[in-house]
Each structure stands twice: as structure tokens, then as C-alpha cells.
Amino acid sequence: AMEATTEAVQIFGGYGYTKEYPVEKLMRDAKVFQIYMGTNEIQRYLISQDLLR
């Protein structure tokens, strides 16, 4: 999600950071989700540990 929203903000340019467009909120939400859930590496580790049980 973070990669997609970062790309979208890049496409929108400076407007991607304004609250006029939903891209800004989507990027903030994706960042919060990333912080809350952990990085991709942590997620892969947790899934692999669960599969090994």
C-alpha cells in the first residue's frame, strides 16, 4: 500500500500533498498501517512462524 500511494503522490506532484485530493489521506493511512502492522520482513517472518506450527 505504501509503494502504491507513494507512486500516486509522485504522479500528482505537489497536489499529492494537499488535502484537496484523497491521495494525501490514503498515503497517511498506508503509513499508519505500515507502522502498526510492521514491515514486510516482519510480516513474512510472522507468517512463516505460524506456518511452521
C-alpha–C-alpha distance, residues 30 and 16, integer Å: 14
Q: Which contacts (CB < 8 Å, 24+ apart) does range 23-28 have?
A: 27/2
- Domain span holding position 36: 2-52
Asked if the model's pLDDT at residue 39 lies above 80, the reply is: no
pLDDT confidence tier of residue 53, bands split at 50, 70 and 90: confident
State how far the Cα of 9 lies from the Cα of 40, in Å rounded to an integer: 21
pLDDT digit string, tens, across residues 12-33: 998 888 889 999 999 999 988 8
Reduced to 3 states (helix: H, G, I; strand: E, B; else coil), residue 18 is: coil
> Using DSSP, how many helices (H) and how many strands (E) does the chain show?
3, 0
| pLDDT at residue 38 is higher than 90 | no
Side-chain-side CA neighbours of 53 within 13 Å: the count stands at 5
Instruction: Domain count for the chain, please give it.
Output: 1
What is the pLDDT at residue 40?
78
